[in-house]
Amino acid sequence: MTVITAQARDLASEDTRYSFVHCNITGTGNGTYLGRAWRTNPRVVFAYTSMSEVITPAGWNNKNRPERDSTVFYGEYKCSGPGSSMDGRVKYTKQLTGEQIKPFLSLGYIQGSKWLLPPPNPEV
């Protein structure tokens, strides 16, 4: 099994999650999952991401633990490419709305002001 993410988040109250924005997923072969439920409460989002045919139609994997179908948060927003098709996605995949994706796109989501440099100022 090939997976891109396997987040070890046990509790919904934990302040951890993965957000992939403007990515490009390519490769050889097929059958790659966007994520698998390593622990009970993973929270993973892909937004504006180009996904090639390497992504399996199911998209996500519950690690053969169907009880995790109701505790995982796997979201997708405005992704493109053959691997982004929602046809065949597992039922617990969330196709996010513009309102639902906003927190995942904010620099505050990753505490970006603590470690990302500000954009350059061409006037200086």
pTM flag (> 0.95): no
Please state, in angstroms and rounded to a whole number, the distance separating the CA atoms of residues 57 and 32. Answer: 9
Q: What is the pLDDT of residue 63?
A: 93
Question: Please, which residues bridge with residue 76 across strands?
Answer: 46, 95
Q: What is the pLDDT of residue 112?
A: 77
Q: What is the pLDDT of residue 115?
A: 79
Q: What is the pLDDT of residue 71?
A: 96
Q: What is the pLDDT of residue 87?
A: 95
Q: What is the pLDDT of residue 111?
A: 79
SS3 for the chain is: CEEEECCCCCCCCCCCCEEEECCEECCCCCCEEEEECCCCCCEEEEECCEECCCECCCCEECCCCHHHHHCCEEEEECCECHHHCCCCCCCCEEECCHHHHHHHHCHHHHCHHHCCCCCCCCCC
Q: What is the pLDDT of residue 107?
A: 78
How do the pLDDT tens digits run along the chain, 124 residues long? 899 999 989 999 998 889 999 999 999 989 999 999 999 999 999 999 999 999 999 999 999 999 999 999 999 999 999 999 999 999 999 999 999 999 888 877 777 778 777 766 666 5
